[in-house]
Structure formats: structure tokens, C-alpha cells
Amino acid sequence: MEIKLKDEFIKLGQALKAAGLVDSGVVAKIVIQDGEVLVNGEVETRRGKKLYGGEVVSFDGQEIHIVK
């Protein structure tokens, strides 16, 4: 799955929501803080982590490719 950036970056929590992998920002916050989300293969616990393009977000067996 791909998310095309409309702006310079998208925050990690917003990317999960935009991809439909979580229902709300609250759920995104919980799964990120619990260490269930990977960015480029590494656990990321900051919901506000900025993604600029080229990153791969993994959650619940799904991959999101962030593209410029």
C-alpha cells in the first residue's frame, strides 16, 4: 500500500489512519506507544515521527510505503 505525500511530510499516527490500519488517532497512539509499529524495520514509539518519503511503515502484517 502506498501513501503519497501532499505536504512535505506526514506524521506516523496520521499515516496509520490514512492507510485505514487504525480507526482513530487514539488507537494509533496506543499501538505506536506499545511498540507495535515499525519504521524501516525498527520499532518507532513516537506518534509524531515525521515521514518524508522513502520510509516503509509496518503494522499488523501490513506495509505502507511513503512516497513523495
The count of structural domains within the chain is: 1
User: For position 62, what pLDDT does the model report?
Assistant: 96
Where in the sequence is the domain holding 26, given as residue range(s)? 2-67
Q: Alpha helices of 1-68 — where are they, by DSSP H?
A: 12-18, 25-33
Q: Per-residue pLDDT tens for 13-52?
A: 999 999 999 999 999 999 999 999 999 999 999 999 999 9
- pTM, two decimals, is 0.93
User: For position 10, what pLDDT does the model report?
Assistant: 98
Read off the pLDDT of each residue in 2-20 and give the average, rounded to a whole number: 96
User: For position 57, what pLDDT does the model report?
Assistant: 98
CATH number (domain holding residue 32): 3.10.290.10
Beta strands 2-4; 38-39: pairing state: unpaired
